[in-house]
Amino acid sequence: MSRIGKKPVSVPAGVTAAVDGNLVKVKGAKGELTFLCPDDVSVKMENGAIAVAPRNETKKARAMWGMSRSQVANLVEGVSKGYEKKLDITGVGYKAAVAGKVLKLSLGYSHDIDYEIPAGISIATPKPTEIVLTGIDKQKVGQTAAEIREFRGPEPYQGKGVRYSGEFIFRKEGKKK
């Protein structure tokens, strides 16, 4: 039994949700999102909340049950509050700046990296060594943060690179004479 799937997703004030078959549409102050649930689960509106239940007792149906409930909860939270990821840049001369729809990264390579900002994501650089990503789609915000981090991931010897804010990097000891 799914512990996550049992709990219905409550719809807060200011957010409207509509269920049409397996398609869930959620609209709020920040925007509108949709999610198509797998055929193994059924979705219903009950008492101002969205309830997800498996159609049968197969292993796949039970797995999709919890996943679908989490996806619907992410939609509701995204249109009401939104999501935010912070990245920190560590290293001498490493910096970031936003110019229009492009994030310019200087990460120690012989060239600067121009990252095209995806639709639905807004990027701000309060400091040259800090990047803040915001958006309503949790998956898109996380994917964009991972793509930016991938340009120069943190290395274990000096700790240089792009890391998530609050991420712990296991440091290694260098060579000994």
Q: Do the domain assignments include residue 170?
A: no
Question: 74 and 7, same structural domain?
Answer: yes
Q: What is the pLDDT of residue 74?
A: 94
Q: Do the domain assignments include residue 175?
A: no
122-148 b/e (C-beta count within 10 Å ≥ 16 → b):
ebebeeeeebbbebbbbebbeebbeeb
- Domain total of the chain: 2
Q: Do the domain assignments include residue 172?
A: no
Q: What is the pLDDT of residue 152?
A: 93
| Model confidence at 79: pLDDT above 90 | yes
115-145 confidence digits (pLDDT tens) = 999 999 999 999 999 999 999 999 999 999 9
pTM above 0.85, yes or no: yes
Question: 88 and 67, same structural domain?
Answer: no
Question: 119 and 60, same structural domain?
Answer: no
Q: Do the domain assignments include residue 174?
A: no
Mean pLDDT throughout 99-117?
94
- Please give the residue range of the domain that contains residue 75: 3-80
Mean pLDDT, the chain, whole residue set: 92
9-25 confidence digits (pLDDT tens) = 999 988 999 999 889 99
Q: What is the pLDDT of residue 2?
A: 66
Q: What CATH number has the domain bearing residue 34?
A: 3.90.930.12
* Neighbouring C-alpha atoms within 13 Å toward the C-beta of 165: 11
Question: 87 and 71, same structural domain?
Answer: no
Vertex 31: Cα angle to 80 and 47 (nearest 5):
50
